[in-house]
């Protein structure tokens, strides 16, 4: 099966992710896939939450922190400004504290805690996770292509839905039990109605958003996850381990794309020894990739003669990626 066949045979898979270690070409392939789908008449949003995202470089357009930016007909790209998102997140927390407890101002000790927490990785991850949920649940596009952060962060991110869900379940259950006691107390006080539990409502709202996101990310009928790898020993080993870990989080793995494959005719004629050794090494690992991943390999992407930046180069790669089968 080819990458093109995957999209044509499963049009309901609208949430697309390319994952793998850093520096393997995930962003390039995400952009190429987005370009091809847009050229097929689909409305596509390509987005990244990676602070070191390179969508601006690939499209040669400043899109960082500007929301969805039009790239071409049917294609928008977005790089989330995590720092801005954290500040907005802090303001949202302050506003909810004021609304819930009726304070005129946020107490200094709580405000200091909110400010200090912003330095913690958890605050950044939470803010980014919230941004992703905002994007993928809105439903304004035919396809959402998520240019994932490198592998370790991606695993952490994908695990967050489950971790958050379990945590929210515990807090919500505790809050519901407290609500029952409050109800009994109100009855004993002969009060007819209870004031709305804003904290419980907020917890249920967060839980529903997390569940909506989790359902999308793990739904095999709507989501496709592609691993990107290159013919190198350590990358092959890491990819095998990562695929096993992703399976634990129910991420629907749809296949593998082998990137940066040296053209097979490059070894013909007189070439430098260094290059000949590289070709020999690649051929050995290509056989290993084939024996390990077999029919799950959807495409072999050639090493291009220059960087993939700008729409003309992306179009060239899209033709190669979607008009040719998995053969190297």
pLDDT digits (tens, 9 = 90+) for 210-233: 677 677 777 888 889 899 999 999
CA distance 264 to 258: 14
110 CB contacts (<8 Å, ≥6 apart)? 97
**For position 309, what pLDDT does the model report?**
93
Residue 44 or 250, more confident: 44
Query: Could you write out the DSSP letters of every residue in 34-55?
Result: HHHHHHTT--EEEEE--TT--H
Which residues, 6 or more positions from 151, have their beta carbon under 8 angstroms from its beta carbon? 19, 20, 21, 22, 238, 242
pLDDT tens-place string over residues 31-83: 999 999 999 999 999 998 777 778 999 999 999 989 999 999 999 999 988 77
CA distance 258 to 58: 20
Q: How many residues does the chain have?
A: 328
Of 2, 42, 1, nearest in space to 322 by CA: 2
């Amino acid at each position: 099966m080819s990458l093109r066949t995957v999209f044509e045979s499963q049009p309901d898979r609208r949430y697309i992710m390319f994952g793998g270690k850093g520096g393997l070409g995930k962003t390039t392939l995400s952009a190429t896939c987005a370009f091809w789908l847009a050229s097929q008449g689909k409305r596509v949003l390509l987005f990244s939450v990676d602070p070191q995202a390179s969508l601006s470089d690939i499209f040669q357009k400043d899109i960082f922190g500007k929301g969805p930016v039009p790239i071409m007909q049917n294609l928008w790209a977005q790089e989330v400004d995590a720092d801005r998102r954290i500040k907005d997140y802090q303001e949202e927390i302050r506003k909810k504290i004021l609304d819930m407890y009726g304070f005129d101002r946020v107490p200094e000790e709580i405000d200091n805690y909110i400010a200090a927490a912003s330095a913690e990785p958890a605050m950044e991850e939470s803010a980014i996770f919230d941004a992703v949920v905002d994007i993928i649940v809105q439903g304004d596009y035919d396809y959402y292509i998520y240019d994932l952060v490198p592998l370790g962060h991606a695993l952490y991110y994908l695990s967050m839905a489950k971790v958050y869900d379990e945590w929210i379940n515990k807090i919500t259950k505790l809050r519901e039990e407290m609500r029952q006691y409050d109800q009994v107390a109100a009855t004993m006080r002969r009060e007819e109605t209870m004031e709305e539990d804003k904290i419980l409502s907020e917890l249920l709202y967060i839980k529903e958003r997390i569940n909506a996101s989790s359902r999308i990310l793990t739904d095999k009928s709507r989501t496709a996850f592609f691993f990107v790898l290159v013919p190198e020993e350590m990358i092959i080993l890491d990819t095998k381990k990562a695929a096993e870990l992703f399976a634990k989080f129910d991420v629907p793995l749809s296949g593998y794309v082998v990137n940066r494959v040296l053209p097979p005719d490059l070894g013909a004629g007189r070439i430098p020894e260094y290059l000949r050794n590289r070709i020999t090494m690649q051929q050995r690992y290509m056989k290993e990739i084939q024996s390990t991943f077999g029919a799950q390999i959807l495409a072999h992407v050639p090493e291009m003669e220059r960087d993939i930046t700008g729409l003309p180069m992306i179009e060239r790669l899209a033709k190669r990626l979607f008009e040719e089968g998995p053969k190297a």
